[in-house]
Amino acid sequence: MVDDIEMPPELSEALQRQNEIDRAEAGQKAPVSGFTYKGVQLESRWAVLRELEDMKRIVDAMPELVSRRIETIWCDSKAGATYIVTVKDRLWVPDMKLTISDTVGGHNGIYIDGDAPAGMDVDPYWPGNYPWDRDPTGEKSAKPATSR
């Protein structure tokens, strides 16, 4: 539960206006904020079409034995490329964290939730921005990273 915060009306109005601007600038909107795709509930905070398409791509790219274990993927439109992934009860496997991170690709962070382990963060990662993503000459690798 979030407690109410006392603030001057003009601050409240300014925050509301900024939220509306951020929502409008997030990108083209889908007619719905979420739907079930291949058994996984996909949700975008602001119904951003690109985010929903990205999450479909993520589900398609996952090994089937992993995607069947995923209950939901939620994208936080306020943060962009930030996800909460919920694993179905009793279906966690040891390589799930790495598999999810690799499948998502570049992201600003992933929070993985489920019955065990509950609450696991994956740090932001953008392929090509790290030394291990570079080829021997020091150039950014053209191929996506598969593990870290």
Of 114, 138, 143, which is closest to residue 127 (Cα–Cα)? 143
| Residue 69 one-letter amino acid | R
Range with lowest mean pLDDT among 60-64, 87-91, 124-128:
124-128
pLDDT band for 84, please (50, 70, 90 cuts): very high
Quote the pTM value.
0.79
Mean pLDDT (the chain) is 87
pLDDT number for residue 32: 95
Residue extents of the structural domains in the chain: 34-122
pLDDT number for residue 116: 74
DSSP annotation string for 81-146: SEEEEEEPTT---TTHHHHHHHHH-SBSEEEEESSSS--EEE--B-TTSSGGGB-TTSSBPSSPP-
3-state secondary structure of 36: strand
